Amino acid sequence: MSSCDAETPYGVVLFRSVQAALAAEKILAGEKIAHKLIAVPRHISSNCGFCLRIQWADREAVERLLPAEKLGVEGIVPL
Amino acid sequence: MIYFDNAATSWPKPDAVPEAMARFLRECGANPGRSGHALSIQAGRVVYEARERVARLLGLDDPLSVAFTKNATEALNVALLGLLAPGDHVITSVMEHNSVLRPLRHLEERGVGVTRLPCPEGALDPAAVARAITPGTRLVVLGHASNVTGALAPIGEVGELARARGILFCVDAAQSAGCLPIDMGAMNIDLVAFTGHKALYGPQGTGGLCLGERARGKLRPLLRGGTGSASDSDTQPDFLPDALEAGTLNAVGIAGLAAGLAFVEERTVEAIRRHELALTERLLEGLRSIPGARILGPGAAARRVAVVSFNLEGQSCSEVATALEERAGIYCRAGLHCAPLAHRQLGTFPEGAVRFSLGAFNTASQIDAALEVVRELSVSAKGA
């Protein structure tokens, strides 16, 4: 376990488009992976839309489930 | 009252449509995607659900490639002005609505080559499309169904032809989306322009452009502005749908559109088509039995959507339409239907014709009642 895991249980998935974040939300809901749409934290990105908060421990599953190119995933970073 | 003007805008709407719009305004009327709070997210979900419904209905593989516009006209402008540049060549037909003809005339004046194929009796021959192709042909744009005669264009054949020749194919589905099956993938269609307020039973002010894989990344946007994404840059994003959706969307309209789409999905396009086909057959058969009635377009109902235009010998179309409304509360549309070249082709320019256009809520008894009045008008004209 990295130090990140110990300190921050959450991560956020960043998308280039708000509508893509909503598409991803439906995928994660279908797979019963805990998530929440939240405003993009200013310290992470200057975009004015929202991103998906996930359990940091789920990040690899999330990476597998979301088609990164199609949804324009810009990254998964610890919160 | 009998409403036969569904090709202009459908009416009535399913109750779920105004209900969804009122609910949106009362409960989640925030900006869909500009903020991160719960109301904004809820509004965004409503818009995304509408994208999914549109994609499913039209056989598009990716809901994010549905760009909402305020109507089919705007969608066609986005497609035509976004794609064509001086030196390009585009093929269309004389049966098109001004939503296609006027942007193309504008482009022609700026160096785009435009071929407008004649359509004897209103029918387009796919072989004529093949013959019109030049090395510079970039696009074929056709209406799926004529808003004057209801006639169906040979979309399947032209799609195959365009794909084989590496030419993009754009379909104006203003008169067909919701009442005729459309499958962008199977029919080799690269761009579909649709309106929300006709056979999708949504409100006015809604429509969109669907982009198949080959069309993505090829359109210059018509508008540039805020998208809620890439906010650190003053350059328009190049990804869909944001690239083509500058400014706040008509989210309340889209909420209504989603309810209209749900109505169509639940009833099914096939069942709506069967219902409208039966009514159209009844109407055509009745009109054919009225002396002095000249029907425009194909004789077989199966070759049309539920649009039937006609004239009565010795009477102007506007007189007939006024008499229909005054005698029996029948609402229809007389004139040129924003399709001047189609009426020239059909020999009804500049007088135009009376148009009955039907929808999911019309009934056989309404057809019979309208035919009765048309018959009376025909007889009274003869006696005059």
Q: Once rounded to an integer, what is the mean pLDDT over residues B104-126?
A: 96
- Is B338 one of the annotated active-site residues of the chain? yes
pLDDT > 50? residue B205: yes
Tell me yes or no: is domain A3-78 CATH 3.30.70.
yes
Contact A39 B241 (CB under 8 A): no
Q: Once rounded to an integer, what is the mean pLDDT over residues B335-364?
A: 95
CATH number of the domain that B125 lies in?
3.40.640.10
Q: Which domain holds residue B294?
A: 2-9+269-383
Q: Once rounded to an integer, what is the mean pLDDT over residues B104-110?
A: 98
Neighbours of B266 (CB within 10 A): 10
pLDDT > 80? residue B280: yes
CATH number of the domain that B284 lies in?
3.90.1150.10
**Inter-residue contact B13 to B260 (CB < 8 Å):** yes
Which amino acid does the sequence have at A28?
L
For residue B137, what are the CA distances in angstroms to B116, B117, B124?
13, 14, 18
Q: Output DSSP code: residue B13.
A: P
pLDDT > 70? residue A7: no
List of chain A residues whose C-beta atoms are within 8 Å of the C-beta of residue B230: 16, 47
Write down which residue in B267, B302, B331 finishes a domain: B267
pLDDT at A4: 47
Sheet holding A50-55, edge to edge: A35-39, A50-55, A10-15, A73-78
ipTM of the complex: 0.87
List of chain B residues whose C-beta atoms are within 8 Å of the C-beta of residue A40: 36
Q: What b/e string do you get for A31-51 counting C-beta neighbours within 10 Å, with b at 16 or more?
A: eeeebebbebeeeebebbbbb
pLDDT at B88: 98
Q: How far is CA B170 from the centre of its chain?
A: 12
Which carries the bigger pLDDT value, residue B285 or residue B382? Answer: B285
Which member of A18, A23, A72 has the closest CB to residue B33?
A18
B24 and B123 within one domain: yes
Of residues B222, B219, B218, B239, the one with CA closest to residue B230? B239
- Supply the mean pLDDT for chain B: 96
B244 and B107 within one domain: yes
List of chain B residues whose C-beta atoms are within 8 Å of the C-beta of residue A26: 48
pLDDT at A2: 43
Q: Once rounded to an integer, what is the mean pLDDT over residues B227-241?
A: 91
Neighbours of B257 (CB within 10 A): 32
B361 and B224 within one domain: no
User: Nearest CA to CA, how far is B135 from chain A (Å)?
Assistant: 33
H or E segment to which residue A50 belongs: strand A50-55
Write down which residue in B245, B267, B289 finishes a domain: B267
Q: Which two tokens stand for residue B111?
A: 């160096």
For residue A48, give the chain B residue with the closest CA. Answer: B228
Q: Once rounded to an integer, what is the mean pLDDT over residues B346-368?
A: 97
Contact B241 A17 (CB under 8 A): yes
Q: By a Cβ cutoff of 8 Å, what residues of chain B touch chain A?
A: 32-37, 40-41, 44-45, 47-48, 51, 62-64, 227-232, 237, 239-242
Classify strands B168-172 and B191-195 as parallel, antiparallel or unpaired: parallel
pLDDT, tens digit (0-9, with 9 covering 90-100), for A31-54: 999 999 999 898 888 776 889 999
Write down which residue in B233, B267, B301 finishes a domain: B267
User: Nearest CA to CA, how far is B361 from chain A (Å)?
Assistant: 34
Contacts of A71 (CB under 8 A, 6+ apart): A15, A20, A23, A24, B64
B257 and B163 within one domain: yes
pLDDT at B382: 62
Contacts of A78 (CB under 8 A, 6+ apart): A4, A8, A10, A11, A56
pLDDT, tens digit (0-9, with 9 covering 90-100), for B159-185: 999 999 999 999 999 999 999 999 999
Q: Once rounded to an integer, what is the mean pLDDT over residues B40-64?
A: 97
B189 and B176 within one domain: yes
List of chain B residues whose C-beta atoms are within 8 Å of the C-beta of residue A72: 239
**Confidence label for B384 from pLDDT (cuts 50, 70 and 90):** low
**Inter-residue contact B130 to B162 (CB < 8 Å):** no
- What residue segments make up the domains of chain A, in order of their start? 3-78
Number of domains in chain B: 2
pLDDT, tens digit (0-9, with 9 covering 90-100), for B342-353: 999 999 999 999
Q: Once rounded to an integer, what is the mean pLDDT over residues B2-18?
A: 98
pLDDT > 80? residue B199: yes
C-alpha Rg value of chain A to the nearest Å: 12
**Inter-residue contact B241 to A17 (CB < 8 Å):** yes
Q: Once rounded to an integer, what is the mean pLDDT over residues B47-64?
A: 98
**Confidence label for B383 from pLDDT (cuts 50, 70 and 90):** low
**Inter-residue contact B75 to B61 (CB < 8 Å):** no
pLDDT > 70? residue B9: yes
How far apart CA B158 and CA B95 sit, in angstroms, is 15
**Stretch among A26-30, B157-161, B260-264, B379-383 having the lowest mean pLDDT:** B379-383
pLDDT at A1: 40
Which residues on neighbouring strands pair with residue B193, listed in sequence order?
B172, B209
State what percent of residues in chain B have pLDDT above 90: 93
Q: Once rounded to an integer, what is the mean pLDDT over residues B246-267?
A: 97
B289 and B376 within one domain: yes
- Supply the mean pLDDT for chain A: 89
State what percent of residues in chain B have pLDDT above 70: 99
Which carries the bigger pLDDT value, residue B131 or residue A40? Answer: B131
B247 and B273 within one domain: no
pLDDT > 50? residue B107: yes
